[in-house]
Amino acid sequence: MDSTRLKEFNYCPNCGRRFHDNETACAICGIKKINTTNIGPKARWQKLLYIQQDYPDNYVDETFLEELQKNVNVHTYKYWTLVRESTVISQHLSSMIIFIGVFIHLYNENLTENTLIFSSTALLVILFFIWAFKMKDIDQRFIVNKLGMVKTGILLFAILLSFSPILKTLTEKTSSDTIYALTVIFFIGNVILHDYSGKITKNIRFPDSLSINLAIFASVLLASRLGRDKSCDGNTQNVPSNKSVFGLLAFAVEWFALLPFFLRFLKKVSMKYYLINTVIFFVTAIALFIPISKIVIIIFCLTVFFINFICPVWLISVQKYKNQINGPWDEAKMKVFVNKNS
């Protein structure tokens, strides 16, 4: 009976591994079998840190990774879904090209300041009615005082008009090369920091607020160049008119501060009209810039094609390398349940 018991409980005292009949030593730690013939089996290893167990600190049991889960919450992307969602980037790039095109046409006097002011006013009225009468159907948080909005808008544009004489001479002593270099830097910062999430929020959050400020400041720099640097018989023309500076800055405020919110609203209401608007932006950008630079249009089209059609393929191809590990060692995530009846 004793020999049967010794053979049945033939385990390594160091790692707990059971010996095979033909083994003379443990294959893991090298403990000889002859020294363990009187050693019974260890207690089963438990995944507990607060008890003393007969196993070394670096021991890894076979059951340790039984609860391991890989890529449990990973969302598998679909190509056309990614193409649709990436249009928010190409749409913002198109709006940037449109604004620069408007400035160049205004600078070259192909566009009058009266036309720009009229177009900006019409755009503002459209955005106001959408905000005031449609946003409440999307979210009750956006119910606002319409009269207060009108007063705020009038005050804002009155301030812009009154500061136009100052803004047009703000960079009078600065060279145009410096102005245009800073403008490029600020517009690049605007593209990088722009909020592409598509979430409708009541307040502008960082870094989107910084993105808007960069675009507005770049617009101020461009407005100060209107009417300058164009020679006629060796003489530089006069400084830009107050009306042209006001028109460009008013358009900039609407284009970079108000329009992105409208586009997020449009995306939530109707993806179909949002995509149509994206195509309209793209075509308008091309139409405005074709007389200016065909090279820029080619680069712009290639960039949009790469972002909308190549990058989704790239993302899907690298998704197979994703390896997200989950298990009982993860931190617990709190879930708050709100009783709607209370």
- What are the DSSP calls for 235-303, one per residue? EEPPPPPHHHHHHHHHHHHIIIIIHHHHHHHHHHH-HHHHHHHHHHHHHHHHHHHTTT-HHHHHHHHHH
Would the pTM of this model clear 0.85, i.e. be above it? no
Mean pLDDT of 303-331: 82
pLDDT tens digit sequence for 73-96 = 777 788 888 888 888 899 999 999
Gap between the Cα atoms of 324 and 74, Å rounded: 8
H/E element holding 196?
none
Pairwise pLDDT comparison (245 vs 204), residue with the higher score: 245
- Angle ∠(309,87,223) on CA atoms, nearest 5: 120
Least confident of 85-89, 195-199, 228-232: 228-232
Per-residue CA distances from 52 to 46, 94, 225 (Å): 10, 66, 78
Least confident of 9-18, 230-239, 301-310: 230-239
pLDDT tens digit sequence for 258-283 = 788 888 877 877 788 888 888 999 99
Helix, strand, coil: what percent of the chain each, to 5? 60, 5, 40
Gap between the Cα atoms of 308 and 143, Å rounded: 35
The pLDDT value recorded for residue 33 is 67
Beta-carbon count within 10 A of 249 CB: 23
With a cut of 90, say whether residue 305 has pLDDT above it.
yes
Question: What does the domain layout of the chain look like in residue ranges?
Answer: 1-66, 79-293
The pLDDT value recorded for residue 158 is 78
Phi, psi of 25 (to 5 degrees): -150, 160
Phi, psi of 70 (to 5 degrees): -120, 130
